[in-house]
Structure 1
Amino acid sequence: MIRIFLRTSIVFLSLCSCTNADLFTAIADMQHMLGSEKDVTSVIDAYIEEEQGRLEQLKRYAEEYVSRNAHADGVGPEFVTNPINAYLLIKRLTSEWRQVEAMMRDNRAEKFIKSITDRRIESKVKFPGEEDLSGAATALLRLQDTYKLDSYDLSNGIILGKKVGHKLTAHDTFEVGRAAYNQKDYYHTLTWMQVALNKLENENPRTIEEEEILEYLAYALYQQGNIRRALAMTKKLAKIAPNHPRAKGNVKWYEDMLEGKEKEGELPPIVNKRIEDDGIVERDAYEALCRGEIPPIDPKEEKKLYCYLKRDRPFLKLAPIKVEILRYEPLVVLFKQIISDYESEMVQELAAPKLKRATVQNAFTGELETASYRISKSAWLKGAEHPVVDRINKRVGDMTNLNQETSEELQVANYGLGGHYDPHFDFARKEEVNAFKKLATGNRIATVLFYMEVPEWGGATVFNQLGTAVFPSKNDALFWYNLYRSGEGDLRTRHAACPVLMGVKWVSNKWIHERGQEFTRPCGLDENMAERFVGDLNPYEYKN
């Protein structure tokens, strides 16, 4: 049984007792939080000013005591034989001392802390909690893996070779490593604790004690199979912190493990392997697509792709829609400049006050729940809430030629720190018998994904099995069919939202259901029949 125990409490700001534990899941909430630092600064300045006045008064009392004591020492024991001197001595040690004691205890910090709390309540500014700190650190680890970022570069504020932020202190770096440790991710624990140790060597004053880093670093080395280095680190820990509560016991524990094996001599090299079993089978392919490492397209297939103006409805004769066919089998298209800047801004404005942590559907119960593999916040908008929402809903009908009577409401999402959604299907598979049961509108036949605000880096929509990556372009909309014309789910549509590396990502989804589509998208004459363009109803052409 492992006898190593690490302190796992995380130090975080506690100026406000009313915290919100999922601020990191939406950049919109993070942006609202920016102003709170200004409040903290002004209150701290006021507190320091008041404290300086109190301390100056205490200093004057101290100087008076020194002066009087010097006089008394000069007179000697006869000083108290003078009744006036005796009275003043007793007064100084009673009533005057009570004043000094009260002044020393009169730290007004609580008043100023309450001032910050009250301001936040009035302004409705949310403040981060422990889960936000852990979530922010985990986001850095996710971005590091997906975009192959170096730990040391990240700790120095460098992303993809560009200086984009402040340097992290040894303590900042340590907290990232500890977040990894709390998730039993020893690959990242080892990496970030090593960086923290390197940074500590150049810090003055130090932001963290070396023994804290060494304990985590030793345990991560042990978990990665390097017991001798773990023992060496723990011996160093015991030497610099003789009173450490666990160091000596851990040294013995490691030595017992190495019983009969070589304990001295040259230490083995550090081998830090990333564990592959994280529940995402196609992780490598997914991350490669996120980085833009897209497999080459067959030139013959590429020649078949084209752009066209969609004019197949009366209104579209006057205002045609620009369509770019991105791929066939399955058909994936991009509607270009399908919404305006004003419409995007209005949707974001309507959704912002309603944002809640995005959920996923439990495959067994059909209930909605939050999950670590979906980091964003979302809100649902009804068409009746604003003419813009109603207009977009109606436009989806013109775009897709599908009946909108059974479509879901417009879902708006804002991605958070490293915001992403791991590979998933939009439709319900056969075993998910409770999915969409309450809607009674059948399965999700198609998806429309509007890009309302796009990040500077990252945030692509990728189709893992197809080797297709679509990098967001503002005011465009991505469209694909989730089901074959037979009604069977198309497993090729498994897709993911890549982590947002830099910037803000707002999207909105329109999920169209199969009920009511009997005439807009009827079954084909052959199970292999597939559309050549959006709204293709030709029943005679199909893939052999």
Structure 2
Amino acid sequence: MTKNIGMQYFLSLIALLLKLVMVMSLESSVMQLDTLSESVKGMQDEGFSNSEIINTIKLELSISRTKSLIGKLYNDEELTEQEIAKLKSGDVDDNDEELENLLRQFSIYTMEAYNNASASSLLIENVKDEIIENEIENDEYEQDIASIAARFMGNDEEATKKLPKPDYAYSPYDLFKLVRLEETIYKPLKKYVKKVEMKLKVLKSYLQDYEGSSELVASALGSKAALEQRAQAIVSNPLTSYRLIRRFAIKLPDVWAMLAEDLEEELWGKLSTIPTQHQPPNEKDWKESIEALFRIQYYNGYNAKEFANGNLGELESNVKLTAAQCMEVGLRAVALKQHGHALEWLYLAQNKHLNGEDDSEIDAKFLQQSLDYAMKEHNRAWDDNFKSRSLAHTYLYSHKINNPEEVEVMKTNSDLFKELSKQLRKQEQYGYHHQYNFMSLCAGESLQTEKERSRLYCWQEKTKHPYFYINPLNVELLNDDPYLIQVYNVIGNNLVEEVRNVTIRNLARSQVINYDDPDVNDVSKTRTSSQTWLDAYSLRNPEKLRSVMQLIEKITGLYTIKPGSSEELQVACYGTSHHYDEHLDAIQDPRRTITTGERIATFMVYLSTVEQGGKTAFPVLGTAADPIQGSGVFWYNMRKNGEPDKRTWHGGCPVAHGIKWVMNSWILEHENFLKYPCGLHAGE
């Protein structure tokens, strides 16, 4: 409230001083108005506060009556060093009584000033604008301003009746006033142009971001590419996905607010309905899109520099992140206490900025402070970990960081854990080594020994069923014990496309089993895909799907079509960064399996090929299946002794580039007890 009163007082004082200038000389009023305005603006540009500017005026009044502020400004004189020193030290001779008397005189001049003085109309409008811009809520004051403005602008009906119609064609005097009037128009127009330029800057920033990401990716498909293909290409890239969400959460709100101001009514009319028709991404979505980048980086082993420059493993993307965007990612890592990521991304942002990247969104000083803070927090967390003898914090480097350059060569705890975990791979009891072996597999490593790999091979299956004599299958053995195979060309491209088109509108966030309540499933960060259930009769030709299920029966030797022999087909979709942590498909909950029995086996069909990432990794077996459209992966979840086979821990690696679609058929125990009989030995 005090600030508002001070601002109001300041604006009133400036307005009254300017009106005094106009009373002193009509011919020089515009010149003096410009001079005083520029002087005040100069003080504002130099960083003087409103109170300091008011004190300057009071200082001038107290220094000398004959050498007043008005006189100095009119003569284009500057404040002396002594006066400025006095001002900055606060040594101002306040003569409030004298100032009050002067203001009282100004108030008399206000209403008696020339009614047709155009400069005063600009003054009042500018003062009113400043009051509104600074959110000064004073109805009485605004009413006074409005009444004065109306009178000066000729909108006061009583006053307007008394004004003669100017004859501009024949009156140089009226033309002279017209010149002065144009002077008053020029300033607000110039002010508006500055606003437009600022708006253009905001709009260009949005357009450049779009053209440098989504349009860049989509244009590579050619001008004849369908919208669905363009969207697929954009959503498949984690960097374009992040920038898409960022534009809606960060940039477009500024665009909408800006277009609502003035003069863009038609464009605003078109865009203003967007938030009412759709729920655009917000800040929460933007933060989650950054966390998605961390997930891809963490599991796939990417370094920030290569990742931000569009290099996703073996795939090179032409979309990059700017210095400012790298800084945003680093600051999010700071908030999440992912200290290694924070240092890596902030150091990258600084390097990009120092190397001359044109990025007006970045504040170099703030970036340096953020990097220093991230380094301090990393070292503090490292000390805490060392004191507790804990290796649990995987987002730390192996040693303290004394110079940000060290992040380019130093290993993280996560790197060290991966090496350690390889030695513990065959331990079936779940532990941290499962997670790190899973990560190694996601990054493209094979953890199988030479001896294990020597037993693997590919073949054409012709003997398992008479059907295969005519249509042999291409099969790859991924592991011999337990049995794990990948079969190719299980489902045709046309049916794949139809299944995706039928299910895409029904997808919902995937859930995991709640072991406390058999009737409840939970949304969890361990599984970030979307899913639905496929009804064969939703397809144009349900028999096509039935033929696929018959083929799965021939491959597995198990029932899948017979009622109760398998669960309803689940279709799941994994966008960029989406994953499923290591898990067993066996339910291990008698409350859920009492009717149908356990999931003895899984046949998972890939409905898309993923360009990068998205493998199905088996950390105990040390191998992973690549998602190739039309192929299927088969394994047994249960041992023949009825126990879950804990060697089949598996998970879906985060998709780095592309969209992963899968169709799961979980084959059930009771209807297949003759097809998969119990073993004769305890270890089977």
Q: Which shows bigger deviation, 310-319 or 166-175? A: 310-319
Match of 1:168 among 294, 308, 321: 321
Deviations for 1:23-63, whole angstroms, at most 9, x for unmatched residues? xxxxxxxxxxxxxxxxxxxxxxxxxxxxxxxxxxxxxxxxx
Q: Deviations over 1:171-203 (max 9, x none)?
A: 211221122223221111121122222333334
Distance in 1 between residues matched to 2:362 and 2:439, nearest whole Å: 34
The reply on whether 1:364 has 2:523 as its aligned counterpart is: no
Answering whether residue 501 of structure 2 is matched by residue 346 of structure 1, we say no
Residue 557 of structure 2: which of 401, 411, 414 is its match? 401
CA radius of gyration, larger in: 2
The partner residue of 1:478 within 633, 644, 648 is 633
Report the CA distance between 1:334 and its aligned residue: 1.6
Aligned to 2:167: none
The answer to whether the 8 A contact 2:353-2:359 is kept is no
Match of 2:575 in 1: 416
After superposition, what is the alpha-carbon deviation per residue over 1:329-357, rounded to whole angstroms, capped at 9, x for unaligned? Answer: 10111222110000111111111111111
The partner residue of 1:88 within 109, 116, 126 is: 116
Q: Which residue of 1 aligns with 2:444?
A: 292
Structure-to-structure mapping, 1:317-466, within 5 angstroms: 318-366=470-518, 367-386=520-539, 387=542, 388-404=544-560, 405-406=563-564, 407-429=566-588, 432=589, 434=591, 436=592, 440-466=595-621
Cα deviations by residue, 1:447-490 (Å, 9 ceiling, x for unpaired):
11111111112221111011112222221100000001222100
Percent sequence identity is: 28
Q: What is residue 283 of structure 1 aligned with on the other side?
A: 435
User: What amino acid is aligned across from residue 150 of structure 2 in structure 1?
Assistant: T
Kept after mapping to 2: 8 A contact 1:226/1:268: no
- 1:210 & 1:98 partners in 2: Cα distance? 51
| TM-score normalised to structure 2 length | 0.53
How far residue 134 of structure 1 moved from its aligned partner, in angstroms, is 2.1
Which structure 2 residues correspond to residues 170-185 of structure 1 after superposition, within 5 A?
170-185=323-338
Aligned match for 1:504, one of 653, 659, 663:
659
Q: Which amino acid aligns with 1:447?
A: T
Q: Give the secondary-structure state (helix, strand or coil) at the position aligned to 1:88.
A: coil
Matched to 2:505, the amino acid is P
Structure 1 counterpart of 2:293, one-letter code: L
CA distance in 2, matches of 1:204, 1:97: 46
Equivalent-residue separation in structure 1 for 2:23 and 2:614 (angstroms)? 72
* Counterpart Cα distance in 1 of 2:555 and 2:153: 83
CA deviation after TM superposition for structure 1 residue 327, in Å:
2.1
Q: 1:75 to 1:522 in 2, by over 3 A?
A: closer
Change (3 A) 1:499 1:70: farther
Amino acid of the structure 1 residue aligned with 2:667 = I
Q: 1:373 to 1:106 in 2, by over 3 A?
A: closer
In 1, Cα distance between equivalents of 2:403 and 2:310: 28
Is residue 216 of structure 1 aligned with residue 370 of structure 2? Answer: yes
What amino acid does structure 2 have at the position aligned with 1:358? S
Q: 1:70 to 1:188 in 2, by over 3 A?
A: farther
- Classify 1:75/1:329 alpha carbon distance in 2 versus 1 (closer, same or farther; 3 Å): closer
Matched letter for residue 136 of structure 1: S
- Quick check: which one's helix share is greater? 2
SS of aligned partner of 1:224:
helix
2:305 maps to which of 152, 155, 178: 152
Count of residue correspondences: 414
Q: Which amino acid aligns with 2:557?
A: N
CA RMSD for the aligned pairs?
4.0
Shift of residue 98 of structure 1?
Answer: 9.8
Residue 645 of structure 2 corresponds to 490
CA–CA distance in structure 1, aligned partners of residues 29 and 281 of structure 2: 62
Cα shift readout 1:223-249 (whole Å, capped 9, x = no counterpart)? 22269xxxxxxxxxxxxxxxxxxxxxx
- The match for 2:341 is 188
2:679 partner letter: G
Written as runs of structure 1 = structure 2, the 5 A alignment for 1:114-263 is: 115-116=270-271, 118-119=273-274, 127-160=280-313, 163-201=316-354, 202-204=356-358, 206-225=360-379
- Give the structure-1-normalised TM-score: 0.66
Per-residue deviation, residues 251-279 of structure 1 (Å, max 9, x unmatched): xxxxxxxxxxxxxxxx9445667455998
- Residues 21-60 of structure 1 mapped to structure 2, 5 A cutoff: none
- SS of the residue corresponding to residue 409 of structure 1 reads coil
CA–CA distance in structure 2, aligned partners of residues 189 and 163 of structure 1: 24
Question: Following the alignment from structure 2 to structure 1, what is the Cα–Cα distance between the partners of residues 549 and 614?
Answer: 24
Q: Deviations over 1:75-112 (max 9, x none)?
A: 99xxxxxxxx94534895316759999x9896267875
Relative to structure 1, the CA distance from residue 337 to residue 198 in structure 2 (aligned partners, 3 Å threshold; closer, same or farther) is same
Compared with structure 1, are the counterparts of its residues 498 and 97 closer, same or farther at alpha carbon in structure 2 (3 Å cutoff)?
farther
Which residue identity is paired with 1:362?
N
Q: Which amino acid aligns with 2:308?
A: S
1:287-344: per-residue Cα shift (whole Å, max 9, x none)?
A: 2222332135545873574524255556556545443333211011122211000011
Name the CA distance, whole Å, in 1 between partners of 2:682 and 2:486.
25
2:479–2:621 CA contact under 8 A, matched in 1: no
8 Å contact from structure 1 (residues 310, 320) kept in 2: yes
What is the rounded CA distance, in whole Å, between the counterparts of 1:378 and 1:205 in structure 2?
Answer: 40
Amino acid at match of 2:672: Q
Secondary structure (helix, strand or coil) at the match of 1:479 reads strand
- Cα distance in 1 between the residues matched to 2:465 and 2:24: 102
| C-alpha distance in 2 between matches for 1:183 and 1:297 | 37
Q: Which residue of 1 aligns with 2:680?
A: 525
- Structure 1 CA distance for aligned equivalents of residues 478 and 308 of structure 2: 38
* 1:130–1:370 distance in 2 versus 1, CA, 3 Å: farther
Judged with a 3 Å threshold, the aligned counterparts in structure 2 of structure 1 residues 161 and 519 are, in CA distance, closer, same or farther, namely: closer
* CA gap 1:181/1:268 in 2 versus in 1, 3 angstroms: closer
Q: Following the alignment from structure 1 to structure 2, what is the Cα–Cα distance between the partners of residues 275 and 207?
A: 33
Structure 2 gap segments, 5+ residues each:
1-21, 31-112, 122-148, 156-184, 193-259, 382-400, 419-430
Distance verdict in 2 for CA 1:477–1:197, change over 3 Å? same
Q: Which moved more, 1:405-414 or 1:130-139?
A: 130-139
